[in-house]
C-alpha cells in the first residue's frame, strides 16, 4: 500500500525563522511528488517534483526531491505569520490516478 509520512506533525516558530518540513514516501512506480498549502479553505498547489536534485523555488519557498532516499523537503526562509498553515505532501504512483497524502505539518508562525 502506498504511504506518505510527514514530519514534524506540528511546528511552532517565530517570525523570521527558517523551517524545513519533511516528507518521506513509499509509492509503487513513483511519478511525482506534490506540495500543497492548506489554510481554512482549498489546498493551494505549491510545487510538483519529478526529478532528483533539482530545486524548485518560489519566493521564500523551495523544495527538493531525493528519489534514491525517497524523501522531499520543503524549506521556508524568513517566515511570516501568513505562512501559518497546514502543509501537505502527496505522491503519485504509476497506475494510480489519485494522490496519496501525508497527514500534513501544522506550521504556526508566532509574531
Partner 1 sequence: NAGVMQNPRHLVRRRGQEARLRCSPMKGHSHVYWYRQLPEEGLKFMVYLQKENIIDESGMPKERFSAEFPKEGPSILRIQQVVRGDSAAYFCASSPAGTVKNIQYFGAGTRLSVL
For partner 1, give the closer residue by CB, 36 or 79. 36
Residue 32 vs 75, nearer CB to partner 1 = 32
**How many C-beta atoms surround the C-beta of residue 66 within 10 A?**
13
Q: CB of residue 53 vs partner 1: minimum separation in angstroms? A: 19
Taking the least distance from each CB to partner 1, the nearer of 58 and 111 is 58
* Shortest Cβ 103–partner 1 spacing (Å): 4
Task: Note the residues at the interface with partner 1 (CB under 8 A).
Answer: 4, 31-32, 34, 36, 41-45, 48, 50, 88, 90, 92, 96-104
Give the integer Cα–Cα distance in Å for 56 and 53: 9
Kindly give, in sequence order, each residue whose CB lies less than 8 Å from that of residue 45, ignoring residues fewer than 6 positions away: 34, 35, 36
Between 85 and 102, CB nearer to partner 1: 102
Q: What length is written for the chain? A: 111
Closest CB 59 distance from partner 1, rounded Å: 19
DSSP state of 82: G
Closest CA to 37 of 107, 111, 96, 91: 107
Amino acid at each position: 500500500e502506498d504511504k506518505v509520512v510527514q514530519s514534524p506533525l506540528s511546528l511552532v516558530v517565530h517570525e523570521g525563522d527558517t523551517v524545513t518540513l519533511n516528507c518521506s514516501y513509499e509509492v509503487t512506480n513513483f511519478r511525482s511528488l506534490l506540495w500543497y498549502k492548506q489554510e481554512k479553505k482549498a489546498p493551494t498547489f505549491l510545487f510538483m517534483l519529478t526529478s532528483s536534485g533539482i530545486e524548485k523555488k518560489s519566493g521564500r519557498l523551495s523544495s527538493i526531491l531525493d528519489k534514491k532516499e525517497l524523501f522531499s523537503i520543503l524549506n521556508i526562509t524568513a517566515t511570516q505569520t501568513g505562512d501559518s498553515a497546514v502543509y501537505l505532501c502527496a505522491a503519485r504512483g504509476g497506475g494510480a490516478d489519485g494522490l496519496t497524502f501525508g497527514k500534513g505539518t501544522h506550521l504556526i508562525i508566532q509574531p
